[in-house]
Amino acid sequence: MSDMTDTTPGWLTTDELEMARARMPILYVEAVPVRVDDSGEVTSIGLLLRIGPDGTVSRTLVSGRVLHHERVRDALLRHLEKDLGPVALPRVPASLQPFTVAEYFPTAGITPYHDPRQHAVSLAYVVPVAGDCRPRQDALDLVWFSPQEAASPALQSEMPGGHGVLLKQALAHVGVVF
């Protein structure tokens, strides 16, 4: 007889994920990678360049699902390594208090955040990185912007699904004045 607390970690199959997305919110983590100076002030913000399923090019944040039986901290580190490479040297905060919680809906207009695939709840963090960032997986490039460039409406308009709004909140959280 199997122990009732026994769990099997791992990915859902594509069909299982679609079924879950249709029935319940999915938990995500998102990270705004930043470079900071010796006093801790943000000097640059890293944005990923990706090609979407429809062929459009956009700028995005580090983002991904939290797996079953995975700690939020571990999910954040896994996605940072997946998107920025193994030597990015992220400094995940000791306290995992997110700067905001973003709720993505499949119906546009309920919140500033939209994901046509699902209802998702995302814990968002600003994470300083000190190492060499080399995008992997589906990211084409990682471009570093000054806080002023990142705050520009033109740059934020290149970010789909509300990521521009999330970036603006992250900048405010670290004291960047608009």
Q: How confident is the model over 39-50, as a mean pLDDT? A: 95
CA angle 70, 72, 82 (to 5 degrees): 80
Sign of CA dihedral 49, 50, 55, 56: negative
Residue 10 — very low, low, confident or very high, per pLDDT cuts 50/70/90?
Answer: low
Across residues 115-142, what is the average pLDDT? 92
Residues in the chain: 178
Q: Choose which CATH entry (3.30.930.10, 3.90.79.10, 1.20.120.430, 3.10.129.10) describes domain 24-173.
A: 3.90.79.10
Give every CB contact of residue 2 below 8 A, 6+ residues apart in sequence.
Answer: none
Residue 45 has pLDDT above 90, yes or no: yes
State the pairing for strand pair 26-36/120-128.
parallel
pLDDT in tens, 48-94: 999 887 888 899 999 999 998 999 999 999 999 999 999 999 999 88
Average pLDDT over residues 109-114: 96
Contact status, residue 66 vs residue 121, Cβ threshold 8 Å: no
DSSP for 34-91 reads EEE-TTS-EEEEEEEEEE-TTS-EEEE-EEEEPPTT--HHHHHHHHHHHHH-TT--B-
pLDDT of residue 2: 37
**pLDDT > 90: percent of the chain:** 74
Buried b / exposed e over 42-74, threshold 16 CB at 10 Å, is bebbbbbebeeeeeeebbbbbbbbbeeeeeeee
